[in-house]
């Protein structure tokens, strides 16, 4: 699953196919064969320019495999509170906020890997130490904490010289844990401490996708809004799809300029994400914008769609 940092994104690529004639003779035959159609081509080109609108034949369309979609998931009648907030300075100065000794960096300045961030209920968390003497006395612990980081329960403890520690989190939701390792000297005094917060969010997703208006003109800019009703953070990319309702079915359309940045976006509970979408010269009809989202620290994901109309000019 995801740790403190994750990079994801989406990109849509366009492909141009080119016709190549390899020899002078072949090029001559090609041009001679095409001359009877030149007048028809010019007439069609002038007709399109005169109309000034895009016909369905001008759009690259294919039948959508998604079928009917909802614009929301879960309960969007109210905002749902998170069990804890792991953002910002909450992860800093953990030794000062808990009963553990100071992080002196005598032993843990470098050479370790420790689990952190949002996890699933029952997921395995680990500590792995490298570049450390084999005779160190180490105390490993996993403790449950409240939102003030006060200890509620000792889940697991191990005192050994092993450089690795692993434990499965309890099968609980909305819980904070502190993963720790301490170096103990011959007098049982703590020489250094390494601490890391692990959180198991409530396994719930409540979100809604909508636009700033119901009806647009061709070439308008649409403001797409995604509202997170909590309690978990949402994760998604800049990618979206536009689909048209045609002949009782939804069809996905593509057009020039449909390109996306390879970035991942995290949306906190109660926040709203806005994305500006420049529409092409779409013909009159019913459309929808489709977007995929996931929920941080869960296995929940959703494909949402919000519908709008293009009116006639």
pLDDT in tens, 270-281: 999 999 998 888
* Per-residue confidence (pLDDT) for residue 262, from 0 to 100: 78
What is the domain range of residue 277? 53-80+204-310
Does 38 map to a domain? no
* Per-residue confidence (pLDDT) for residue 92, from 0 to 100: 84
Q: Say if residue 116 is in the same domain as residue 253.
A: no
Q: Provide the 8-state DSSP code for 270.
A: T
Q: Say if residue 251 is in the same domain as residue 112.
A: no
* Per-residue confidence (pLDDT) for residue 257, from 0 to 100: 64
Does 26 map to a domain? no
The last residue of a domain, from among 183, 200, 217: 200
Does 218 map to a domain? yes
Instruction: Give yes or no for a cis peptide into 231 (omega within 30° of 0).
Output: yes
| Number of structural domains the chain divides into | 2
Closest CA to 287 of 226, 228, 256, 245: 245
Closest CA to 292 of 251, 246, 241: 241
* Per-residue confidence (pLDDT) for residue 65, from 0 to 100: 93
* Per-residue confidence (pLDDT) for residue 43, from 0 to 100: 40
The last residue of a domain, from among 200, 218, 246: 200
Per-residue pLDDT reduced to its tens digit, 150-161: 999 999 999 999
Give CA–CA dist 121/123, Å, rounded.
6
Contact in structure between 102 and 95 (CB atoms under 8 Å)? yes
Q: Say if residue 212 is in the same domain as residue 74.
A: yes
List, for the chain, all residue ranges whose pLDDT scores fall below the cut of 70: 1-59, 89, 257-258, 313
């Amino acid at each position: 699953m995801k740790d403190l940092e994750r990079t994801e994104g989406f990109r849509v690529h366009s492909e141009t196919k080119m016709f190549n004639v390899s020899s002078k003779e072949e090029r001559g035959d090609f041009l001679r064969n095409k001359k009877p159609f030149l007048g028809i081509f010019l007439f069609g080109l002038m007709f399109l320019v005169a109309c000034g609108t895009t016909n369905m034949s001008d759009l690259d369309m294919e039948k959508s495999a998604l079928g009917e979609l909802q614009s929301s998931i879960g309960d969007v009648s109210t905002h749902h509170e998170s069990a804890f907030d792991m953002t910002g300075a909450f992860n800093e100065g953990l030794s000062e906020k808990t009963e553990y000794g100071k992080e002196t960096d005598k032993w843990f300045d470098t050479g370790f890997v420790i689990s952190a961030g949002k996890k699933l209920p029952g997921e395995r968390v680990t500590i792995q130490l490298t570049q450390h003497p084999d005779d160190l006395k180490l105390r490993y612990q996993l403790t449950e904490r409240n939102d003030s980081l006060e200890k509620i329960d000792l889940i697991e403890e191990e005192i050994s010289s092993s450089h690795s520690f692993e434990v499965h989190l309890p099968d609980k939701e909305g819980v904070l844990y502190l993963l720790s390792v301490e170096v103990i000297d011959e007098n049982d005094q703590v020489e250094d401490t390494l601490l890391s917060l692990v959180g198991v969010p409530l396994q719930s997703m409540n979100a809604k996708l909508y636009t700033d208006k119901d009806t647009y003109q061709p070439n308008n800019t649409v403001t797409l809004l995604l509202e997170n009703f909590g309690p978990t953070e949402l994760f998604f990319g800049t990618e979206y799809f536009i689909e048209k309702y045609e002949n009782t079915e939804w069809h996905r359309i593509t057009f020039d300029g449909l390109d996306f940045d390879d970035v991942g976006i995290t949306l906190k509970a109660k926040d709203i994400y806005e994305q500006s979408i420049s529409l092409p010269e779409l013909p009159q009809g019913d459309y929808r914008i489709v977007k995929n989202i996931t929920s941080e620290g869960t296995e929940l994901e959703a494909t949402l769609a919000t519908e709008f109309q293009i009116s006639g000019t």
